[in-house]
Amino acid sequence: MGKVKTDQVKRTGKALMSRFPTKFTTKFDENKLMVESLTQGTTTRVRNQIAGYITRTLSLAQADSSRDSDVDGEEEEE
């Protein structure tokens, strides 16, 4: 079966990223500690799921932006 994130994990992750955009990176361990300090009453499993969601979202966004810059660079060379 696939890995499906619950609505709670996605909602909390998006809220944290929008409220604290500069506090998160593409490193899971750093995000895990940051989620722990910013949230209260979450279990270890939920904290890790939120940190993983944030890490994956930022990694994909970073990959998309680098891919876009590669495409732009190729068009300028022509």
Q: How far apart are CA 13 and CA 57, in angstroms?
A: 9
At 75, list the tokens. Answer: 């068009």
User: What topology does CATH give the domain 7-69?
Assistant: Diphtheria Toxin Repressor; domain 2 (1.10.60)
pLDDT at 66: 80
Q: Where are the domains of the chain?
A: 7-69
Q: How far apart are CA 74 and CA 78, in angstroms?
A: 7
pLDDT at 74: 59
pLDDT at 70: 63
Q: How far apart are CA 10 and CA 8, in angstroms?
A: 6
pLDDT at 42: 87
User: Which residues of the chain carry a pLDDT beneath 70?
Assistant: 1-4, 70-78
Using the CB atoms, write b or e for 20-48: b if 16+ within 10 Å: eeeebebeeeebbebbeebeeebeeebbb
Q: For the beta carbon of residue 57, count every other beta carbon within 10 angstroms.
A: 16
pLDDT at 71: 59
